[in-house]
A and B are shown apart, each in its own frame.
Chain A
Amino acid sequence: MAELHSPEEIRKHVRVYMMVFGSLAVLTIVTVSVGYLKLPIVPAMIVALFIACVKGGLVGSYFMHLITEKKLIFWLLIASAVFLFIMLTLFIWAHNSQEGGYLVS
């Protein structure tokens, strides 16, 4: 990123940063509001994690410049997600193999 932008382009980026900040602030208020609705655990978790994913996506895409990043970085992140999934699968498998402990049937 550092070698790619002129000062004029950076000024445009700054406007985008401010819009992202506003969006993150609004989404934080939405998150807290949903928390006070006291929804049952599964819908509450889905809504909370969905909003968190949107917020994380905004930070990653714009503040960390992932929208203009090279493919290698994306592959690195995909590899992390795959390994995370494998780890979680192993945990579920280990948990399910215990007597009486079923998470995924």
Chain B
Amino acid sequence: MDIPYTVEARPDTGVNNAKLGIWLFLASEIMLFGGLFSAYIFLRIGAPEWPGMMAGHMYGRASEVLSVPLATLNTFILIGSSVTIVMAWASLMMNRFDKYRLFMGATILLAFGFLIIKGIEYTSKFSHGLFPSESNFLGIYFVLTGLHAVHVIGGIIINSYFLGPGTKLWKTNPKYFTNRIEVAGLYWHFVDIVWIFLFPTIYLL
């Protein structure tokens, strides 16, 4: 069965179905993260001290509990991966499949780098007895960053597919494949945008 409008734009919407589909999905994601950001705002405003008492210590700033240098490094990593995935798409548009592989591979490696650093951060918290159950601050920190990390893992799976078995499509239908990479890229950029808002909100304020 042929699925219509996978590459060419539908006359009524002006965009192809894949793009409309991913934007609808991203709209639902805005609501998901928006709800959690709202939870953060209410917890923050309602708390007399923030982050407050944790594991027997009183903290006045989130940056006293969390590692700002590691989170800054992770910000650079995700921004870098946004560039590499858009370069992967641009390479396909210029018919340079070799460069596509390079940039998509770099995107996946950077995503792993992000997760490794997040793992180091989490391990450091756990080793100091700072668990999600310890305080509202830690609860919302682990929920927001944990959900974001799940999205990063999802991106790794999608991008790895398009670097591995999914590349067969390039030989049979390059336009369709390029379109898929653009859609995968839109998802990945969204993951980057979420982190752009998470980083100052949780780590610096």
Contact = CB atoms under 8 A, between A and B. Distances in A.
Nearest to A20: B83
A67 interface: no
A55 B87 contact: no
A43 to B, nearest CB: 11
Contacts of B93: 2, 5, 7, 10
A2 B68 contact: no
B61 to A, nearest CB: 7
Interface size class of B (residues with CB under 8 A): 35 or more
Contact of B14 (A41, A56, A72): A72
A17 to B, nearest CB: 6
Nearest to A28: B75
B193 A3 contact: no
A80 B75 contact: no
Interface of B: 7-9, 13-15, 19-20, 23-24, 27, 30-31, 34-35, 38, 42, 45-46, 61, 63, 68, 72, 75-76, 79-80, 82-83, 86-87, 90, 93-95, 175, 178-179, 182, 185-186, 189-190, 192-193, 196-197, 199-201, 203-205
B204 A31 contact: yes
A63 B185 contact: yes
Given A1-B182, A64-B186, A59 B82 contact: yes
B86 A3 contact: no
A88 B31 contact: no
B197 A52 contact: yes
Most buried by B among A17, A25, A41, A63: A63
